[in-house]
Amino acid sequence: MSAGAVIIGGFSGTELAPSLRQALLRQERAGVILFKRNITSDIEQVAALNLSLASAMPSALIAVDQEGGRVARLGAPFLKLPSARAVARRGDTALIARAARAQAKQLRALGFTLNFAPVLDIDSEATNPVIGDRAFASDPSAAARFGIAWGLALQSEGILACGKHYPGHGATTVDSHLSLPMVNATRETLLTRELVPFRLATALFSLMTAHVVYPALDPDFPATLSTKIATDLLRNDIGYKGALISDDLEMKAITLDVESSSVLSIAAGCDLLLICSSEELQHRAFDALKREGEKSPTFRARLNEAARRSGALRGSAPPSSALSGPALHRAFGTDEAHAIEQAVS
């Protein structure tokens, strides 16, 4: 049993904190996620930070949210891309794949292994405060076609993709960072709209859950905590075999303490848990998962299954290998990157 194999944690600062280094050395994390607070405009700093993370735990996932548009943690000289909606307006799947491959090459040069992209949500609600132009399209088949092309192109260059936010965040009118949204669509609507891209995303190595309640699927729990959605629908109906990652358990849509939400998320069917800011909360989640696994054989079996999927995900990408010196700089500012920026601008 490995409770640490299911936790991806964030941290403060632009260098690896000793406490996080020790957690990685003890295999009490599956990986880390970087935000703007961890990144300077100096690509050498990002590469050095990722190298220090990988040296503490060679198999660690080193993740970032680099969608393009308003969700982009890495600034210049990293490839500058507009929103998914703007890229998809051209209707050119080959261009989308080309942009994603270029993005993946730069992420690999900096030592990342996982990008929390593409967004597979449907842009179906004009007042949605959190998705909107992050979605590729309002048409389910187009959103699936463009989003999956993006994800497969990332993976072709050695970056793990993560389709989000299962089973669909596009129809919400509330930001799950701030409160718990609900989508009161019928099951038929969800199956023919929200779920279309996720049913077709079986080749993506991971998916991320939505902290959203869908009464037609489960009236009692948001997707992250729902066995009906995270296991019965995703595994048994859709047949998805990859890793399921929770959205950040520190978001206000999840009102339970981290001990309860961590245990319930794993029990429901999540394989990895995002805890994006607080190292203390990550330690508390680790302890809670370990205690529950020691107490309950059923939960221990589910935790072991999650740890196996976590290990399979980490084994699906080449180990982090950040470049340095002239080789690092050659990965940026290339003619190909400039041509892509012009083509999608």
> Is 339 within a domain?
no
Q: Which structural domain range is residue 61 located in?
A: 3-327
What pLDDT, on the 0 to 100 scale, is given for residue 41?
82
Average pLDDT score over residue span 266-281: 98
Catalytic-labelled residue, pool 121, 247, 248, 271: 247
Q: Directed axis angle between helix 18-25 and helix 43-56, to 10°?
A: 40
pTM: 0.97
Q: How far apart are CA 152 and CA 204, in angstroms?
A: 7
Q: How many domains does the chain have?
A: 1
> Is 209 within a domain?
yes
For residue range 132-151, list pLDDT tens digits in order. 999 999 999 999 999 999 99
Question: For position 239, which CATH number holds?
Answer: 3.20.20.300
> Is 340 within a domain?
no
Q: For this structure, is 133 an active site residue? A: no
Which residues make Cβ contacts (< 8 Å) with residue 122, sequence separation at least 6?
135, 137, 138, 139, 140, 143, 168, 170, 171, 193, 194, 196, 197
Q: How far apart are CA 218 and CA 226, in angstroms?
A: 7
Tell me whether residue 184 is exposed, middle or buried, using C-beta atoms within 10 angstroms of its C-beta: 0 to 12, 13 to 18, 19 or more: exposed
Which residues make Cβ contacts (< 8 Å) with residue 32, sequence separation at least 6?
8, 9, 10, 11, 20, 24, 53, 60, 61, 62, 63
The sign of the torsion formed by the CA atoms of 10, 11, 16, 17 equals negative
Average pLDDT score over residue span 189-194: 97
Q: How far apart are CA 221 and CA 150, in angstroms?
A: 30
Residue 27: name the closest of 48, 63, 1 by CA: 1
Catalytic-labelled residue, pool 177, 283, 287, 329: 177
8 Å CB contact between 310 and 57: no
Work out the mean pLDDT of the chain and round it to a whole number: 96
Q: How far apart are CA 73 and CA 169, in angstroms?
A: 21
> Is 333 within a domain?
no
> Is 173 within a domain?
yes
For residue range 82-110, list pLDDT tens digits in order. 999 999 999 999 999 999 999 999 999 99
Q: For this structure, is 283 an active site residue? A: no
pLDDT at 260 over 80: yes
What pLDDT, on the 0 to 100 scale, is given for residue 1?
60
8 Å CB contact between 198 and 141: no
What pLDDT, on the 0 to 100 scale, is given for residue 2?
85
pLDDT at 155 over 70: yes
For residue range 31-64, list pLDDT tens digits in order. 999 999 999 989 999 999 999 999 999 999 999 9
Average pLDDT score over residue span 292-308: 98
> Is 125 within a domain?
yes
3-state secondary structure the chain: CCHHHHEEECCCCCCCCHHHHHHHHCCCCCEEEECHHHCCCCHHHHHHHHHHHHHHCCCCEEEECEEECCEECCCCCCCCCCCHHHHHCCCCHHHHHHHHHHHHHHHHHCCCCEECCCECCCCCCCCCCCCHHHCCCCCHHHHHHHHHHHHHHHHHCCCEEEEEEECCCCCCCCCCCCCCCECCCCHHHHHHCCCHHHHCCCCCCEEEECCCEECCCECCCCHHHCHHHHHHHHHHHHCCCCEEECCCCCCCCCCCCHHHHHHHHHHHCCCEEEECCCHHHHHHHHHHHHHHHHHCHHHHHHHHHHHHHHHHHHHCCCCCCCCCHHHHHHCCCCHHHHHHHHHHC
Strand partners, 31: 8, 61
> Is 61 within a domain?
yes
> Is 337 within a domain?
no
Confidence of residue 212 (pLDDT cuts 50, 70, 90): very high
